[in-house]
Amino acid sequence: MKVLVAVKRVIDYSVKVRIKPDQSDVDLANVKMSMNPFCEIAVEEAIRLKERGEASEVVVVSIGPKACQDQIRSALAMGADRGIWVEHDGPAGGLAVAKGLAAVAREESPQLVMLGKQSIDSDNNQTGQMLSALLGWPQATFASAVRKTDAGFEVTREIDGGLETLALTGPSVVTTDLRLNEPRFIKLPDIMKAKRKPMASQTPEALGVAMTSGVTLERVETPTERSGGIRVDSVDALIHALKHDAQVL
**Which positions lie near ligand AMP, rule CB under 6 A?**
6-8, 36, 38-39, 62-64, 94, 97, 115-116, 118-119, 122, 124-128
> 127-135 vs 94-108: helix axis angle to the nearest 10?
50
Q: Give the nearest residue (CB) to ligand AMP.
A: 116
CB 72 within 8 A of CB 60: yes
Cα(165)–Cα(154) distance, rounded to whole angstroms? 7
Q: Which is nearer to ligand AMP, 149 or 203 (CB)?
A: 203
Report the relative pairing of strands 139-148 and 152-159 from DSSP bridges: antiparallel
Q: How far is the CB of 142 from ligand AMP (least distance, A)?
A: 11
Q: Which is nearer to ligand AMP, 123 or 221 (CB)?
A: 123
Q: How far is the CB of 33 from ligand AMP (least distance, A)?
A: 12
List of residues 6+ apart from 158 with CB closer than 8 A: 142, 144, 177, 179
Cα(246)–Cα(231) distance, rounded to whole angstroms? 13
Q: Which is nearer to ligand AMP, 6 or 47 (CB)?
A: 6
Q: Which is nearer to ligand AMP, 118 or 132 (CB)?
A: 118
Q: Which is nearer to ligand AMP, 122 or 238 (CB)?
A: 122
Residue 188's Cβ-count burial label (10 Å; 0-12, 13-18, 19+) is exposed
Q: How far is the CB of 228 from ligand AMP (least distance, A)?
A: 33
Q: How far is the CB of 175 from ligand AMP (least distance, A)?
A: 7
Q: How far is the CB of 201 from ligand AMP (least distance, A)?
A: 14
Cα(190)–Cα(140) distance, rounded to whole angstroms? 31
